[in-house]
Chain A
Amino acid sequence: MVFTKELEDLVYGIKLSSVGPGRVTGSDVVHDLSGMDIAMKLHYVKVVYFFSSQAAQGLNLTRFKEATFDCFCDFYYTCGRLRRSESGRPYIKCNDCGARYIEACCDMTIDECLQMKDFYSDLQKLLVSQQVIGPELTFSPPVLIQVTRFKCGGLSVGLSWAHILGDAFTAANFMNRCGQAMARLGSNTPANLQYKSNTQHERSKNPLPLHDEPLSLKWVDPVGDHWIVSNNCRMDTFSFHITASQLATLHSEISGRNRSDQVPIFESICAIIWKCIAKVKLGEETAQARTVTICKKDPRKPSKGVVTNTQIISAVTLDLSVMETDPQRLVTLLVNEAVDERMKMEEVVERDDGVSDFIMYGANLTFVDLEEADLYGFELNGYKPDLVYCTVHGVGDEGAVFVLPAGPKGSGQANGDGGRMVTIIFPESLVPELKAELAKKGLGQGDHDLT
Chain B
Amino acid sequence: MPPSLPDFSNSVKLKYVKLGYQYLVNHILTLTLLPIMAAIFVEVLRMGPEEILNLWRSLQFDVVQILCCSFLIIFIATFYFMSKPRSIFLVDYACFKPPLTCRVPFATFMEHSRLILKDKPKSVEFQMRILERSGLGEETCLPPAIHYIPPTPNMEAARGEAELVIFSAMDSLFEKTGLKPKDIDILIVNCSLFSPTPSLSAMVINKYKLRSNTKSFNLSGMGCSAGLISIDLARDLLQVHPNSNAVIVSTEIITPNYYQGNERAMLLPNCLFRMGGAAILLTNRRSERRQAKYRLVHVVRTHKGADDKAYRCVFEEEDKEGNVGISLSKDLMAIAGEALKSNITTIGPLVLPASEQLLFLLTLIGRKIFNPKWKPYIPDFRQAFEHFCIHAGGRAVIDELQKNLQLSAEHVEASRMTLHRFGNTSSSSLWYELSYIEAKGRMKKGDRVWQIAFGSGFKCNSAVWKCNRTIKTAIDGQGPWADCIDRYPVHIPEVVKL
A97 within 8 A of B: yes
Complex CA distance for A22 and B149, rounded to whole angstroms: 20
Contact A15 to B148, CB < 8 A, known contacts A24-B138, A24-B139, A139-B114: yes
- On whether the beta carbons of B101 and A96 are closer than 8 Å, the reply is no
Q: C-beta contact mask, A1-28 vs B, less than 8 Å → 1, else 0?
A: 0000000000000011111101110010
A97-B107, A97-B111, A98-B108 given; A16·B101 CB < 8 A:
no
Q: Which of B138, B147, B152 contacts A18 (CB 8 A)?
A: B147
Q: Could you tell me which residues of chain A, from 186 to 200, have a CB within 8 Å of some CB in chain B? A: none
Interface flag for A369 (CB, 8 Å): no
Residues of the A chain whose Cβ atoms lie less than 8 Å from the Cβ of B303: none
A81 interfacial contact with B, CB 8 Å: yes
B100 contact set on A, CB distance < 8 A: 22-23, 66, 69-70
The answer for the CA separation of A66 and B107 in the assembled complex, in Å, is 19
B294 within 8 A of A: no
- If A139-B111, A139-B114 touch, whether A17 touches B149 (CB-CB below 8 Å) is yes
A16 CA to B106 CA, complexed, in Å: 18
Q: A18-B111, A22-B100, A139-B111 are in contact. Are A96 and B148 (CB under 8 A)?
A: no
Could you tell me if A96 and B147 are in contact, using CB atoms closer than 8 angstroms? no
- Count, chain B residues at interface, CB 8 A: 20
Does A15 contact B152, Cβ atoms closer than 8 Å?
yes
A20 touches B108 (CB 8 A): yes
B105 touching A22, Cβ below 8 Å: no
With a CB–CB cut-off of 8 A, which chain B residues contact A17? 147-149
> Would you give the shortest CB distance from A200 to chain B, in whole angstroms?
27
Judge whether A65 is part of the interface by a CB distance below 8 angstroms. yes
| Chain B CB within 8 A of A95 CB | yes
- With an 8 A cutoff between CB atoms, is B103 at the interface? yes
Which residues of chain A have C-beta atoms less than 8 A from B101's C-beta? 19, 22, 62, 65-66, 69
Count A interface residues, CB 8 Å: 22
Give CA–CA (A17, B147) in the complex, Å: 6
A63 to B483, CA, bound (A): 22
Total A-B contacts with CB atoms under 8 angstroms apart: 54
CB-CB contacts of B423-451 with A at 8 A, as 1s and 0s?
00000000000000000000000000000
Give Cα A95–Cα B138 distance, bound, in whole angstroms.
Answer: 9
B304 at the binding interface (Cβ < 8 Å): no
Partner pick for A96 among B108, B114, B115, CB 8 A cutoff: B108
Chain A, Cβ-Cβ closest to B139 = A24
B112 near A18: Cβ-Cβ < 8 Å: yes
Q: How far is the CA of A96 from the CA of B115 in the complex (A)?
A: 17
Residues of A within 8 A of B106 (CB): 95
A residues near B137, Cβ cutoff 8 Å: 24
B contact residues around A62 at 8 Å (CB): 101, 144
Complex-state Cα separation, A69 to B108, whole angstroms? 14
Kindly report which residue of chain A lies nearest to residue B137, judged by CB atoms: A24
Question: How close is B96's CB to chain A, nearest CB, in angstroms?
Answer: 17
Interface centre among A22, A65, A98, A139 (most CB of B within 10 A): A98
In angstroms, Cα B146 to Cα A16, docked, is 11
A264 to B147 CA separation, bound complex (whole angstroms): 49
Most chain B CB within a 10 A radius of its CB, from A17, A22, A62, A70: A17
Instruction: Return B147 CB to nearest CB of chain A, in Å.
Output: 5
Residues of chain A contacted by B107 (CB below 8 angstroms): 81, 95-98
Residue interface bits B140-166, CB-to-A below 8 A is 1, else 0:
000010011100100000000000000
Which residues from B are CB-within-8-Å of A95?
Answer: 105-107
**How does the 8 Å CB contact mask read for B95-120 relative to A, with 1 for contact and 0 for none?**
00001110101111001101100000
Cα A378 to Cα B442 with chains together (Å): 49
Contact B148 A16 (CB under 8 A): yes
A101's nearest neighbour on chain B, judged by CB, is B147
Q: How far is the CA of A66 from the CA of B102 in the complex (A)?
A: 10
A81: chain B residues within 8 A (beta carbon) = 107
Chain B 308-340: CB-based contact to A (< 8 A → 1; otherwise 0): 000000000000000000000000000000000
Nearest A residue (CB) for B152: A15
Question: Within the complex, what minimum Cβ distance (angstroms) separates B351 from chain A?
Answer: 39
In the complex, A16→B108 CA distance in Å? 13
B111 / chain A contacts, CB cutoff of 8 Å: 18, 97, 139, 141
Interface string of A62-78 (1 = CB under 8 A from B): 10011001100000000
Residues of A within 8 A of B99 (CB): 66
Which residue of chain A has the shortest Cβ distance to B483 in the bound complex?
A23
Nearest 10 interchain pairs by C-beta: A22-B100, A97-B107, A95-B107, A96-B105, A16-B149, A17-B147, A17-B148, A69-B101, A24-B138, A18-B108
* B residues adjacent to A (C-beta < 8 A): 99-101, 103, 105-108, 111-112, 114-115, 137-139, 144, 147-149, 152
14 contacts between A and B (CB under 8 A): A15-B148, A18-B112, A19-B101, A22-B100, A24-B137, A24-B139, A95-B107, A96-B108, A96-B138, A97-B105, A97-B111, A98-B105, A98-B108, A139-B111
